[in-house]
């Protein structure tokens, strides 16, 4: 890993207002770039908005599609990597909660949410791949909201070389403080157990379809401590420098870096 400055965006993203949401992205990307960020992460489904109702079917679009093409141009004009959420419709009409990984002058990549929560299952299809991505000397994974409740997913990413996991959310209900306390039950564990950075950000405000989001963004270090957070509940960006020295201090300590001491063979065959 190399040192890198990242930005986590808290945004309001009404459902089926893709044009409005894309225009807002331009503003946040330009602001993050002015602050020196190289990777800019938006919340889950910030382009199309998030809902578990059938309205999302009308907002969904293919990848690559019109929104993807606009973000490709934006990433190239600002020379940054953009991680942005979209309701993706494939050629068979299946709908995925997806996240775009757009790097300058490279074909767009996509992560499809793997763990679909019970309220989402009538609309969304789960993905079946666990990709990792690289940009400017860092290797990272993406998980979307409910994904983060499954520890083995983070461990799989870390074992395969991830230094960072970005966890964009569309997590409604509650106050910013309540959402922060909820996240503190599990997100620090994902960072601590795997000696990685975890970056989480959420939508905020009304989605126009009955859901209200409390915002919140946070950066968690490889020792499990919160390095920075935004609990204002308002739109904004949280910018932070991820330092290789911080991850090396943990991974070079024989008692604090757990992954090399795993015994996965114990779990692979069950009791005999």
Tens digit of pLDDT for each residue in 13-53?
999 999 999 999 999 999 999 999 999 999 999 999 999 99
Q: What is the pLDDT of residues 194-234, one digit of tens each?
A: 999 999 999 999 999 999 999 999 999 999 999 999 999 99
Q: Domain residues for 83?
A: 4-268
Cross-strand partners of 135: 138
101-157: pLDDT as tens digits: 999 999 999 999 999 999 999 999 999 999 999 999 999 999 999 999 999 999 999
Cβ contact 131:111 at 8 Å: yes
Beta strand 236-242 pairing with 4-10: antiparallel
Rounded Cα–Cα distance for residues 78 and 11 (Å): 19
**Rg of the chain over all Cα atoms, to the nearest angstrom:** 18
pLDDT digits (tens, 9 = 90+) for 63-82: 999 999 999 999 999 999 99
In whole angstroms, give the CA distance from residue 251 to residue 171: 32
Give the whole-angstrom CA distance, residue 216 versus residue 214: 7
Q: Which of 80, 48, 79 is nearest to 63 (CA)?
A: 48
Q: Look at residues 147, 239, 229, 126 and name the one whose alpha carbon lies nearest to residue 190.
A: 147
Q: What is the pTM of this model?
A: 0.95
Please check whether residue 109 is in contact with residue 142, taking contact to mean a CB–CB distance below 8 angstroms: no
Nearest to 68 by CA among 22, 29, 113: 22
CATH number for 172: 3.60.110.10
pLDDT reading at 271 higher than 80: no
Burial 3-23 (b: 16+ CB within 10 A, else e): ebebbbbbbbbbbbbbeebbe
Give how many domains the chain has, as a whole number: 1
């Amino acid at each position: 890993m190399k040192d890198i400055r990242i930005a986590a965006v808290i945004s309001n993203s009404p459902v089926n207002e893709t044009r409005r949401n894309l225009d807002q992205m331009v503003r946040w990307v330009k602001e993050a770039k002015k602050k020196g960020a190289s990777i800019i992460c938006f919340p889950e489904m910030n382009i199309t908005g998030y809902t578990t109702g059938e309205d999302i079917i009308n907002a969904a679009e293919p990848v690559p599609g019109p929104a993807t093409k606009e973000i490709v141009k934006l990433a190239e004009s600002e020379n940054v990597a953009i991680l942005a959420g979209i309701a993706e419709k494939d050629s068979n009409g299946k709908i995925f909660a997806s996240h775009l990984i757009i790097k300058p002058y490279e074909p767009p990549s996509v992560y499809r949410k793997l763990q679909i929560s019970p309220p989402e299952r009538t609309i969304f299809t789960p993905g079946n791949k666990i990709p990792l991505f690289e940009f400017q000397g860092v290797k990272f994974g993406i998980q979307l909201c409910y994904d983060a409740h499954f520890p083995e997913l983070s461990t799989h990413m870390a074992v395969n070389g991830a230094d960072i996991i970005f966890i964009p959310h569309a997590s409604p209900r509650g106050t910013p403080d309540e959402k922060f306390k909820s996240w503190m039950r599990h997100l620090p564990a994902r960072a601590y157990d795997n000696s990685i950075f975890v970056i989480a950000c959420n939508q905020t405000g009304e989605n126009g379809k009955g859901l209200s989001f409390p915002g919140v963004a946070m950066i968690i270090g490889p020792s499990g401590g919160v390095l920075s957070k935004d609990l204002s509940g308002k739109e904004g960006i949280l910018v932070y420098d991820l330092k290789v020295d911080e991850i090396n201090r943990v991974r070079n300590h024989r008692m604090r870096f757990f992954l090399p001491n795993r015994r996965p063979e114990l779990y692979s065959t069950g009791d005999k």
